[in-house]
A = this chain, B = another copy of it.
Amino acid sequence: MISTNIVKKLKEIIGGENLFDSPESRLAYSYDSSPINAPLPDVVVRPSTAEQISQIIQLANAEKFTVIPRGSGTGLSGGTLPSENSIILLTNHWNRILEIDQENLSVWVEPGVITAVLQQEVEKFGFIYPPDPGSASISTIGGNVAENAGGLRGLKYGVTKNYVLGMEVILPTGEILHTGGKSVKDVAGYNLKDVLTGSEGTLGIFTKILLKIIPKPETSRTFLAFFPTMDDAAKTVSAIITAKITPSMLEILDNTTIRCVEDYTHIGLPIETAAILLIELDGKKSVVDDDALLVNEICRKHNATTIKVAQDESESVKLKTARRSAFASLARATPTTMTEDVAVPRSELARLVSRICEIGKKNDVRIGTFGHAGDGNLHPNYMTDKRDAKAFARAEKSIIEVEEAAIDLGGTITGEHGVGLYKKRLLEKMVGSPSMTMMRTLKQMMDPNNILNPGKIFDLKPKCEGPLPTDREQIKKFEDVAWI
Protein backbone atom coordinates (compact mmCIF):
# COMPACT_ATOMS: atom_id res chain seq x y z
CA MET A 1 0.00 0.00 0.00
CA ILE A 2 1.46 3.37 -0.94
CA SER A 3 1.98 5.79 1.94
CA THR A 4 -0.20 8.79 2.76
CA ASN A 5 2.82 10.88 1.98
CA ILE A 6 2.85 9.61 -1.61
CA VAL A 7 -0.90 10.20 -1.87
CA LYS A 8 -0.28 13.76 -0.74
CA LYS A 9 2.42 14.22 -3.37
CA LEU A 10 0.14 12.80 -6.07
CA LYS A 11 -2.56 15.27 -5.03
CA GLU A 12 -0.05 18.08 -5.32
CA ILE A 13 0.68 17.03 -8.89
CA ILE A 14 -2.87 16.50 -10.19
CA GLY A 15 -5.12 18.23 -7.65
CA GLY A 16 -7.13 16.41 -4.98
CA GLU A 17 -10.23 16.23 -7.17
CA ASN A 18 -8.36 13.97 -9.62
CA LEU A 19 -7.33 11.30 -7.15
CA PHE A 20 -9.75 8.56 -6.11
CA ASP A 21 -9.09 6.23 -3.25
CA SER A 22 -12.51 5.19 -2.01
CA PRO A 23 -13.11 1.42 -1.84
CA GLU A 24 -15.69 1.80 -4.64
CA SER A 25 -13.22 3.53 -6.97
CA ARG A 26 -10.51 1.04 -6.26
CA LEU A 27 -12.87 -1.86 -6.87
CA ALA A 28 -14.18 -0.32 -10.08
CA TYR A 29 -10.66 -0.23 -11.51
CA SER A 30 -9.56 -3.64 -10.24
CA TYR A 31 -10.79 -5.51 -13.31
CA ASP A 32 -10.95 -5.18 -17.06
CA SER A 33 -12.63 -7.30 -19.72
CA SER A 34 -10.35 -10.29 -19.16
CA PRO A 35 -11.33 -13.25 -16.98
CA ILE A 36 -8.60 -12.63 -14.41
CA ASN A 37 -8.77 -11.62 -10.74
CA ALA A 38 -6.36 -8.91 -9.62
CA PRO A 39 -5.60 -7.03 -6.40
CA LEU A 40 -7.20 -3.61 -5.82
CA PRO A 41 -5.13 -0.62 -6.92
CA ASP A 42 -4.00 1.64 -4.09
CA VAL A 43 -5.38 4.77 -5.74
CA VAL A 44 -6.73 5.90 -9.11
CA VAL A 45 -5.37 9.10 -10.67
CA ARG A 46 -6.66 11.27 -13.49
CA PRO A 47 -3.85 13.52 -14.74
CA SER A 48 -4.61 16.10 -17.38
CA THR A 49 -1.26 17.02 -18.93
CA ALA A 50 1.78 15.16 -20.22
CA GLU A 51 3.84 17.01 -17.63
CA GLN A 52 1.66 15.70 -14.81
CA ILE A 53 2.13 12.14 -16.03
CA SER A 54 5.85 12.75 -16.27
CA GLN A 55 5.89 13.93 -12.64
CA ILE A 56 3.82 10.95 -11.49
CA ILE A 57 6.22 8.58 -13.23
CA GLN A 58 9.21 10.31 -11.68
CA LEU A 59 7.56 9.97 -8.28
CA ALA A 60 6.89 6.28 -8.96
CA ASN A 61 10.57 5.76 -9.76
CA ALA A 62 11.62 7.58 -6.60
CA GLU A 63 9.10 5.87 -4.31
CA LYS A 64 8.95 2.50 -6.07
CA PHE A 65 5.26 2.11 -6.71
CA THR A 66 3.92 0.88 -10.03
CA VAL A 67 1.76 2.69 -12.57
CA ILE A 68 -0.92 0.97 -14.66
CA PRO A 69 -2.21 3.06 -17.58
CA ARG A 70 -5.84 2.46 -18.56
CA GLY A 71 -8.25 3.56 -21.28
CA SER A 72 -11.71 1.99 -21.32
CA GLY A 73 -10.56 -1.34 -19.92
CA THR A 74 -11.97 -3.34 -22.85
CA GLY A 75 -8.77 -5.38 -23.23
CA LEU A 76 -9.20 -9.15 -23.13
CA SER A 77 -5.74 -10.16 -21.92
CA GLY A 78 -5.54 -8.34 -18.59
CA GLY A 79 -3.32 -5.52 -19.81
CA THR A 80 -4.81 -2.90 -17.49
CA LEU A 81 -5.12 -4.99 -14.34
CA PRO A 82 -3.55 -3.61 -11.17
CA SER A 83 -0.62 -5.34 -9.53
CA GLU A 84 0.51 -5.13 -5.91
CA ASN A 85 1.44 -1.61 -4.80
CA SER A 86 0.05 0.02 -7.92
CA ILE A 87 -1.89 3.06 -9.00
CA ILE A 88 -4.25 3.16 -11.97
CA LEU A 89 -3.59 6.07 -14.33
CA LEU A 90 -6.66 7.06 -16.37
CA THR A 91 -6.37 8.52 -19.84
CA ASN A 92 -9.94 8.09 -21.10
CA HIS A 93 -11.01 11.64 -20.16
CA TRP A 94 -8.57 13.08 -22.74
CA ASN A 95 -10.94 12.69 -25.61
CA ARG A 96 -10.47 15.54 -28.04
CA ILE A 97 -9.80 15.15 -31.74
CA LEU A 98 -7.18 17.86 -32.05
CA GLU A 99 -6.88 18.11 -35.83
CA ILE A 100 -8.23 16.53 -39.00
CA ASP A 101 -5.66 17.30 -41.70
CA GLN A 102 -7.30 16.43 -45.00
CA GLU A 103 -4.32 17.35 -47.13
CA ASN A 104 -1.92 15.10 -45.23
CA LEU A 105 -4.53 12.38 -44.57
CA SER A 106 -3.88 12.46 -40.86
CA VAL A 107 -5.50 13.24 -37.51
CA TRP A 108 -4.03 14.23 -34.16
CA VAL A 109 -6.03 12.78 -31.28
CA GLU A 110 -5.83 12.54 -27.54
CA PRO A 111 -5.54 9.00 -26.16
CA GLY A 112 -9.06 8.89 -24.69
CA VAL A 113 -10.91 9.39 -27.99
CA ILE A 114 -13.37 6.52 -28.49
CA THR A 115 -12.49 4.56 -31.64
CA ALA A 116 -16.02 4.72 -33.08
CA VAL A 117 -16.23 8.48 -32.43
CA LEU A 118 -13.06 9.00 -34.46
CA GLN A 119 -14.47 6.77 -37.22
CA GLN A 120 -17.69 8.82 -37.35
CA GLU A 121 -15.91 12.19 -37.27
CA VAL A 122 -13.54 11.46 -40.15
CA GLU A 123 -16.38 9.94 -42.20
CA LYS A 124 -18.02 13.37 -42.17
CA PHE A 125 -15.09 14.59 -44.28
CA GLY A 126 -15.13 11.60 -46.63
CA PHE A 127 -12.41 9.57 -44.92
CA ILE A 128 -12.24 6.38 -42.91
CA TYR A 129 -10.07 5.31 -40.01
CA PRO A 130 -9.90 1.60 -40.93
CA PRO A 131 -8.92 -0.25 -37.71
CA ASP A 132 -12.20 -1.59 -36.37
CA PRO A 133 -11.79 -3.64 -33.18
CA GLY A 134 -15.02 -5.29 -32.03
CA SER A 135 -14.91 -3.01 -29.00
CA ALA A 136 -14.78 0.15 -31.18
CA SER A 137 -17.89 1.65 -29.59
CA ILE A 138 -16.20 1.85 -26.19
CA SER A 139 -12.45 1.28 -26.65
CA THR A 140 -10.06 4.24 -26.72
CA ILE A 141 -7.46 5.02 -29.36
CA GLY A 142 -4.78 5.04 -26.62
CA GLY A 143 -5.75 1.50 -25.70
CA ASN A 144 -5.90 0.47 -29.36
CA VAL A 145 -2.36 1.76 -29.90
CA ALA A 146 -1.07 0.14 -26.69
CA GLU A 147 -2.52 -3.22 -27.78
CA ASN A 148 -2.02 -2.79 -31.53
CA ALA A 149 -5.70 -3.63 -31.86
CA GLY A 150 -6.96 -5.55 -34.88
CA GLY A 151 -10.60 -6.09 -35.69
CA LEU A 152 -12.93 -6.75 -38.56
CA ARG A 153 -11.17 -4.88 -41.36
CA GLY A 154 -7.65 -6.29 -40.87
CA LEU A 155 -7.53 -8.37 -44.03
CA LYS A 156 -7.75 -5.46 -46.45
CA TYR A 157 -6.68 -2.55 -44.27
CA GLY A 158 -4.27 -3.93 -41.67
CA VAL A 159 -4.21 -3.25 -37.94
CA THR A 160 -3.70 -0.23 -35.70
CA LYS A 161 0.09 -0.05 -36.15
CA ASN A 162 -0.38 0.47 -39.87
CA TYR A 163 -2.16 3.75 -39.05
CA VAL A 164 0.08 5.19 -36.31
CA LEU A 165 2.18 7.99 -37.83
CA GLY A 166 3.50 9.62 -34.69
CA MET A 167 3.06 10.07 -30.99
CA GLU A 168 3.86 11.96 -27.82
CA VAL A 169 4.65 9.37 -25.19
CA ILE A 170 5.79 9.44 -21.58
CA LEU A 171 8.58 6.92 -21.09
CA PRO A 172 8.98 4.82 -17.91
CA THR A 173 11.64 7.29 -16.75
CA GLY A 174 9.23 10.22 -17.05
CA GLU A 175 10.87 11.61 -20.16
CA ILE A 176 8.50 13.00 -22.79
CA LEU A 177 9.36 11.59 -26.20
CA HIS A 178 8.02 12.74 -29.57
CA THR A 179 8.46 10.42 -32.50
CA GLY A 180 7.11 10.14 -36.05
CA GLY A 181 5.25 12.84 -37.94
CA LYS A 182 3.26 13.65 -41.04
CA SER A 183 6.02 12.81 -43.51
CA VAL A 184 4.88 9.54 -45.00
CA LYS A 185 8.48 8.48 -45.51
CA ASP A 186 10.97 8.85 -42.67
CA VAL A 187 14.01 6.69 -41.93
CA ALA A 188 15.81 9.05 -39.54
CA GLY A 189 17.08 6.61 -36.91
CA TYR A 190 15.54 3.53 -35.31
CA ASN A 191 11.82 3.00 -35.69
CA LEU A 192 10.80 3.69 -32.08
CA LYS A 193 7.15 4.31 -32.95
CA ASP A 194 6.50 0.74 -34.02
CA VAL A 195 8.04 -0.82 -30.94
CA LEU A 196 6.07 1.50 -28.63
CA THR A 197 2.88 0.61 -30.52
CA GLY A 198 1.66 -2.70 -29.13
CA SER A 199 3.90 -2.54 -26.06
CA GLU A 200 0.80 -3.03 -23.89
CA GLY A 201 1.47 -0.11 -21.58
CA THR A 202 4.85 -1.46 -20.50
CA LEU A 203 7.12 0.97 -22.36
CA GLY A 204 5.20 4.23 -22.38
CA ILE A 205 1.96 6.15 -21.89
CA PHE A 206 0.62 7.85 -25.01
CA THR A 207 -0.55 11.42 -24.53
CA LYS A 208 -1.07 12.43 -28.18
CA ILE A 209 -1.36 10.21 -31.22
CA LEU A 210 -1.05 11.04 -34.93
CA LEU A 211 -3.06 8.64 -37.07
CA LYS A 212 -3.39 8.06 -40.78
CA ILE A 213 -6.80 8.19 -42.42
CA ILE A 214 -7.72 7.15 -45.96
CA PRO A 215 -10.37 8.18 -48.49
CA LYS A 216 -13.72 6.50 -47.88
CA PRO A 217 -14.46 3.77 -50.43
CA GLU A 218 -17.21 4.69 -52.90
CA THR A 219 -19.43 1.79 -51.95
CA SER A 220 -19.58 -1.47 -50.01
CA ARG A 221 -21.61 -4.67 -50.19
CA THR A 222 -22.33 -7.19 -47.45
CA PHE A 223 -23.11 -10.91 -47.80
CA LEU A 224 -23.92 -13.77 -45.48
CA ALA A 225 -23.15 -17.22 -46.93
CA PHE A 226 -24.31 -20.43 -45.22
CA PHE A 227 -22.25 -23.64 -45.51
CA PRO A 228 -22.95 -27.28 -44.71
CA THR A 229 -19.50 -27.84 -43.12
CA MET A 230 -16.81 -25.68 -41.46
CA ASP A 231 -14.34 -27.14 -43.92
CA ASP A 232 -16.35 -25.77 -46.86
CA ALA A 233 -16.39 -22.33 -45.26
CA ALA A 234 -12.67 -22.39 -44.46
CA LYS A 235 -11.83 -23.47 -48.01
CA THR A 236 -14.03 -20.71 -49.41
CA VAL A 237 -11.88 -18.22 -47.52
CA SER A 238 -8.73 -19.54 -49.18
CA ALA A 239 -10.41 -19.61 -52.58
CA ILE A 240 -11.48 -15.97 -52.32
CA ILE A 241 -7.93 -14.87 -51.50
CA THR A 242 -6.47 -17.10 -54.20
CA ALA A 243 -8.85 -15.43 -56.69
CA LYS A 244 -7.01 -12.19 -55.79
CA ILE A 245 -10.05 -10.63 -54.13
CA THR A 246 -9.43 -8.77 -50.88
CA PRO A 247 -12.70 -8.32 -48.96
CA SER A 248 -12.84 -5.62 -46.30
CA MET A 249 -14.44 -8.23 -44.00
CA LEU A 250 -14.25 -12.01 -44.15
CA GLU A 251 -15.61 -13.40 -40.90
CA ILE A 252 -16.62 -16.89 -39.85
CA LEU A 253 -19.13 -18.30 -37.30
CA ASP A 254 -19.45 -21.99 -36.45
CA ASN A 255 -22.64 -23.87 -35.63
CA THR A 256 -22.34 -23.44 -31.87
CA THR A 257 -21.97 -19.71 -32.32
CA ILE A 258 -24.86 -19.58 -34.81
CA ARG A 259 -27.15 -21.37 -32.34
CA CYS A 260 -26.19 -19.05 -29.49
CA VAL A 261 -26.55 -15.94 -31.65
CA GLU A 262 -29.99 -17.01 -32.87
CA ASP A 263 -31.05 -17.89 -29.35
CA TYR A 264 -29.99 -14.40 -28.23
CA THR A 265 -30.97 -12.20 -31.18
CA HIS A 266 -33.79 -14.08 -32.97
CA ILE A 267 -32.69 -12.67 -36.32
CA GLY A 268 -33.68 -15.83 -38.16
CA LEU A 269 -30.36 -17.65 -38.61
CA PRO A 270 -30.75 -21.27 -39.79
CA ILE A 271 -29.56 -23.14 -36.71
CA GLU A 272 -28.76 -26.31 -38.65
CA THR A 273 -26.13 -24.47 -40.70
CA ALA A 274 -22.59 -25.62 -39.91
CA ALA A 275 -20.90 -22.34 -40.73
CA ILE A 276 -21.60 -18.78 -41.86
CA LEU A 277 -19.22 -16.45 -43.65
CA LEU A 278 -19.81 -12.70 -43.35
CA ILE A 279 -18.22 -11.07 -46.38
CA GLU A 280 -17.97 -7.37 -47.12
CA LEU A 281 -16.47 -5.89 -50.28
CA ASP A 282 -15.70 -2.20 -50.63
CA GLY A 283 -14.21 0.12 -53.25
CA LYS A 284 -15.36 1.60 -56.55
CA LYS A 285 -18.84 0.39 -57.51
CA SER A 286 -17.71 -1.23 -60.77
CA VAL A 287 -15.02 -3.23 -58.95
CA VAL A 288 -17.36 -4.26 -56.13
CA ASP A 289 -19.88 -5.43 -58.75
CA ASP A 290 -17.31 -7.62 -60.48
CA ASP A 291 -15.89 -9.03 -57.27
CA ALA A 292 -19.37 -9.72 -55.89
CA LEU A 293 -20.17 -11.96 -58.84
CA LEU A 294 -16.94 -13.85 -58.35
CA VAL A 295 -17.43 -14.22 -54.58
CA ASN A 296 -20.94 -15.53 -55.19
CA GLU A 297 -19.60 -18.09 -57.63
CA ILE A 298 -16.82 -19.21 -55.27
CA CYS A 299 -19.30 -19.64 -52.39
CA ARG A 300 -21.62 -21.74 -54.58
CA LYS A 301 -18.72 -23.85 -55.80
CA HIS A 302 -17.88 -24.59 -52.15
CA ASN A 303 -21.42 -25.81 -51.43
CA ALA A 304 -22.93 -22.65 -49.95
CA THR A 305 -26.61 -23.38 -49.47
CA THR A 306 -27.82 -19.78 -49.17
CA ILE A 307 -26.24 -16.40 -49.90
CA LYS A 308 -27.94 -13.31 -48.54
CA VAL A 309 -26.95 -9.94 -49.99
CA ALA A 310 -27.73 -6.71 -48.16
CA GLN A 311 -29.76 -4.36 -50.36
CA ASP A 312 -28.92 -1.22 -48.37
CA GLU A 313 -27.01 0.07 -45.37
CA SER A 314 -29.64 -0.96 -42.82
CA GLU A 315 -29.75 -4.48 -44.21
CA SER A 316 -25.97 -4.58 -44.12
CA VAL A 317 -26.01 -3.62 -40.44
CA LYS A 318 -28.58 -6.38 -39.86
CA LEU A 319 -26.38 -9.00 -41.55
CA LYS A 320 -23.42 -7.87 -39.48
CA THR A 321 -25.47 -8.22 -36.30
CA ALA A 322 -24.94 -11.97 -36.35
CA ARG A 323 -21.19 -11.50 -36.22
CA ARG A 324 -21.20 -8.55 -33.85
CA SER A 325 -23.40 -10.41 -31.38
CA ALA A 326 -21.23 -13.52 -31.35
CA PHE A 327 -19.24 -12.83 -28.20
CA ALA A 328 -22.18 -11.64 -26.12
CA SER A 329 -24.32 -14.54 -27.34
CA LEU A 330 -21.74 -17.14 -26.36
CA ALA A 331 -20.98 -15.44 -23.05
CA ARG A 332 -24.60 -15.68 -21.92
CA ALA A 333 -25.08 -19.29 -23.03
CA THR A 334 -23.08 -20.97 -20.26
CA PRO A 335 -22.02 -19.92 -16.77
CA THR A 336 -18.40 -19.52 -17.85
CA THR A 337 -17.04 -18.63 -21.28
CA MET A 338 -13.35 -18.13 -21.97
CA THR A 339 -12.22 -16.49 -25.18
CA GLU A 340 -9.14 -17.40 -27.19
CA ASP A 341 -7.33 -15.38 -29.87
CA VAL A 342 -5.14 -17.70 -31.93
CA ALA A 343 -4.08 -16.89 -35.50
CA VAL A 344 -2.47 -19.01 -38.21
CA PRO A 345 -1.31 -18.48 -41.79
CA ARG A 346 -4.46 -18.31 -43.88
CA SER A 347 -3.66 -21.60 -45.64
CA GLU A 348 -3.82 -23.37 -42.26
CA LEU A 349 -7.30 -22.10 -41.36
CA ALA A 350 -9.16 -25.31 -42.23
CA ARG A 351 -6.59 -27.35 -40.30
CA LEU A 352 -6.93 -25.07 -37.26
CA VAL A 353 -10.69 -25.36 -37.38
CA SER A 354 -10.53 -29.15 -37.39
CA ARG A 355 -7.89 -29.22 -34.62
CA ILE A 356 -10.18 -27.07 -32.44
CA CYS A 357 -13.06 -29.51 -33.04
CA GLU A 358 -10.89 -32.52 -32.20
CA ILE A 359 -9.60 -30.89 -29.02
CA GLY A 360 -13.11 -29.99 -27.89
CA LYS A 361 -14.36 -33.50 -28.59
CA LYS A 362 -11.40 -35.21 -26.93
CA ASN A 363 -11.67 -33.08 -23.78
CA ASP A 364 -15.45 -33.00 -23.75
CA VAL A 365 -15.63 -29.21 -23.90
CA ARG A 366 -18.17 -27.29 -25.93
CA ILE A 367 -16.34 -24.73 -28.06
CA GLY A 368 -18.02 -21.97 -30.06
CA THR A 369 -15.67 -20.54 -32.66
CA PHE A 370 -15.91 -17.34 -34.64
CA GLY A 371 -13.41 -14.78 -35.87
CA HIS A 372 -11.53 -13.05 -38.61
CA ALA A 373 -11.22 -15.92 -41.07
CA GLY A 374 -9.59 -13.75 -43.72
CA ASP A 375 -6.74 -13.06 -41.30
CA GLY A 376 -6.53 -16.67 -40.08
CA ASN A 377 -7.46 -15.21 -36.66
CA LEU A 378 -10.04 -17.23 -34.72
CA HIS A 379 -11.71 -16.77 -31.34
CA PRO A 380 -12.63 -20.18 -29.96
CA ASN A 381 -14.86 -19.74 -26.88
CA TYR A 382 -14.67 -22.46 -24.23
CA MET A 383 -18.11 -22.87 -22.71
CA THR A 384 -17.87 -24.29 -19.24
CA ASP A 385 -18.76 -23.72 -15.61
CA LYS A 386 -16.11 -22.67 -13.16
CA ARG A 387 -18.10 -24.22 -10.29
CA ASP A 388 -17.49 -27.62 -11.83
CA ALA A 389 -13.78 -28.09 -11.16
CA LYS A 390 -13.35 -31.04 -13.51
CA ALA A 391 -15.16 -29.40 -16.40
CA PHE A 392 -13.20 -26.21 -15.86
CA ALA A 393 -9.90 -28.09 -15.87
CA ARG A 394 -10.87 -29.71 -19.17
CA ALA A 395 -11.53 -26.25 -20.63
CA GLU A 396 -8.17 -24.97 -19.38
CA LYS A 397 -6.46 -27.98 -20.92
CA SER A 398 -8.21 -27.29 -24.22
CA ILE A 399 -7.07 -23.66 -24.27
CA ILE A 400 -3.46 -24.73 -23.96
CA GLU A 401 -3.86 -27.42 -26.59
CA VAL A 402 -5.42 -24.97 -29.05
CA GLU A 403 -2.60 -22.49 -28.46
CA GLU A 404 -0.09 -25.27 -29.04
CA ALA A 405 -1.92 -26.26 -32.22
CA ALA A 406 -1.67 -22.66 -33.46
CA ILE A 407 2.08 -22.65 -32.80
CA ASP A 408 2.41 -26.02 -34.58
CA LEU A 409 0.67 -24.59 -37.62
CA GLY A 410 3.12 -21.68 -37.83
CA GLY A 411 0.76 -19.28 -36.09
CA THR A 412 0.53 -17.20 -32.96
CA ILE A 413 -1.03 -17.46 -29.51
CA THR A 414 -2.48 -13.97 -29.90
CA GLY A 415 -3.53 -12.29 -33.11
CA GLU A 416 -4.95 -9.10 -31.65
CA HIS A 417 -5.81 -9.28 -27.95
CA GLY A 418 -2.25 -9.01 -26.67
CA VAL A 419 -0.31 -11.13 -24.21
CA GLY A 420 -1.11 -9.22 -21.02
CA LEU A 421 -1.35 -11.66 -18.14
CA TYR A 422 -3.50 -14.15 -20.01
CA LYS A 423 -1.02 -15.37 -22.64
CA LYS A 424 2.32 -15.23 -20.86
CA ARG A 425 2.54 -18.96 -20.34
CA LEU A 426 3.24 -20.02 -23.92
CA LEU A 427 4.93 -16.85 -25.18
CA GLU A 428 8.47 -18.18 -24.88
CA LYS A 429 7.50 -21.45 -26.53
CA MET A 430 6.18 -19.45 -29.44
CA VAL A 431 8.76 -16.70 -29.96
CA GLY A 432 11.85 -18.53 -28.71
CA SER A 433 14.48 -17.69 -26.19
CA PRO A 434 16.47 -15.05 -28.15
CA SER A 435 13.30 -12.99 -28.68
CA MET A 436 12.36 -13.30 -25.00
CA THR A 437 15.83 -12.13 -24.01
CA MET A 438 15.59 -9.17 -26.36
CA MET A 439 12.14 -8.22 -25.03
CA ARG A 440 13.20 -8.48 -21.40
CA THR A 441 16.37 -6.50 -22.01
CA LEU A 442 14.43 -3.82 -23.85
CA LYS A 443 12.02 -3.51 -20.92
CA GLN A 444 14.84 -3.38 -18.37
CA MET A 445 16.72 -0.81 -20.39
CA MET A 446 13.71 1.48 -20.70
CA ASP A 447 12.18 0.84 -17.29
CA PRO A 448 15.04 0.04 -14.90
CA ASN A 449 12.77 0.14 -11.84
CA ASN A 450 10.03 -1.90 -13.55
CA ILE A 451 7.39 0.63 -12.54
CA LEU A 452 5.27 0.78 -15.72
CA ASN A 453 2.65 -1.99 -16.01
CA PRO A 454 5.00 -4.65 -14.59
CA GLY A 455 4.40 -8.34 -15.19
CA LYS A 456 2.43 -7.79 -18.38
CA ILE A 457 3.63 -9.69 -21.51
CA PHE A 458 6.37 -11.43 -19.47
CA ASP A 459 7.86 -11.61 -16.03
CA LEU A 460 11.26 -10.01 -15.92
CA LYS A 461 12.71 -13.18 -14.52
CA PRO A 462 11.54 -16.33 -16.29
CA LYS A 463 9.31 -18.54 -14.16
CA CYS A 464 8.80 -22.27 -14.48
CA GLU A 465 5.85 -23.35 -16.53
CA GLY A 466 2.91 -24.61 -14.54
CA PRO A 467 -0.85 -24.80 -14.66
CA LEU A 468 -2.72 -21.64 -15.58
CA PRO A 469 -3.20 -19.33 -12.60
CA THR A 470 -6.39 -20.09 -10.75
CA ASP A 471 -7.37 -16.44 -10.68
CA ARG A 472 -8.42 -16.93 -14.28
CA GLU A 473 -11.50 -18.49 -12.78
CA GLN A 474 -13.29 -15.22 -12.40
CA ILE A 475 -15.01 -15.14 -15.72
CA LYS A 476 -17.12 -12.13 -16.35
CA LYS A 477 -19.99 -12.07 -18.75
CA PHE A 478 -20.89 -9.35 -21.12
CA GLU A 479 -24.54 -9.31 -21.88
CA ASP A 480 -24.94 -6.16 -23.82
CA VAL A 481 -21.87 -5.50 -25.84
CA ALA A 482 -20.40 -7.49 -28.67
CA TRP A 483 -16.81 -6.53 -28.72
CA ILE A 484 -14.40 -8.98 -30.16
**A residues in contact (CB < 8 Å) with B:** 101-106, 126, 147-148, 150, 154-155, 159, 161-162, 171, 175-179, 181-192, 194-195, 197-199, 203, 215, 238, 241-242, 244, 246, 283-284, 286-287, 290, 343-347, 372, 375-377, 410-419, 423, 427, 430-432, 434-439, 441-442, 445-446, 457-458
Contacts and interface: CB of A to CB of B under 8 A. Distances in A.
B435 A103 contact: no
Contacts of A159: 185
A375 B438 contact: no
A183 B104 contact: no
Given A195-B191, A241-B103, A244-B215, A411 B181 contact: yes
Contacts of A161: 191, 194
Given A188-B423, A191-B195, A176 B416 contact: no
Contacts of A284: 284, 286-287, 290
Nearest to A290: B284
A428 to B, nearest CB: 9
Of A184, A195, A198, A286, most B-chain CB atoms within 10 Å: A184
A189 B195 CA distance: 10
B439 A150 contact: no
Contacts of A414: 186-188
Contact of A177 (B188, B197, B410, B435): B435
Of A194, A283, A423, most B-chain CB atoms within 10 Å: A194
A246 B445 contact: no
B178 A432 contact: yes
10 contacts: A102-B242, A103-B238, A155-B184, A171-B438, A178-B432, A184-B346, A188-B427, A189-B427, A189-B431, A191-B197
B435 A445 contact: no
Contact of A185 (B101, B290, B416, B437): B416
B191 A148 contact: yes
Contact of A187 (B194, B244, B411, B415): B415
Given A161-B194, A186-B412, 5 more contacts: A104-B347, A175-B434, A181-B345, A185-B412, A284-B290
Of A103, A290, A416, A457, most B-chain CB atoms within 10 Å: A103
Given A376-B184, A434-B177, A445-B442, A103 B189 contact: no
Given A286-B284, A376-B183, A434-B177, A419 B198 contact: no
Contacts of A427: 188-189
A410 B182 contact: yes
B103 A242 contact: yes
A343 B102 contact: no
Of A191, A198, A287, most B-chain CB atoms within 10 Å: A191
A104 B199 CA distance: 26
A66 B411 CA distance: 36
Of A203, A246, A445, most B-chain CB atoms within 10 Å: A445
A160 B418 CA distance: 25
B435 A182 contact: no
B179 A435 contact: yes
B150 A185 contact: yes
A203 B441 CA distance: 14
Contacts of A194: 161, 191, 194-195
A471 to B, nearest CB: 22
Contacts of A185: 150, 154, 159, 343, 372, 375-377, 412, 415-416
A183 B442 contact: no
B343 A186 contact: yes
A375 B103 contact: no
A435 B155 contact: no
Nearest to A177: B434
A431 B191 CA distance: 11
A329 to B, nearest CB: 23
Given A105-B241, A194-B194, A411-B183, A188 B419 contact: yes
Of A154, A183, A431, most B-chain CB atoms within 10 Å: A183
Contacts of A104: 345-347
B188 A431 contact: yes
Contacts of A413: 188
A174 to B, nearest CB: 10
Contacts of A417: 187
Contacts of A175: 434, 437
Contact of A184 (B182, B198, B242, B375): B375
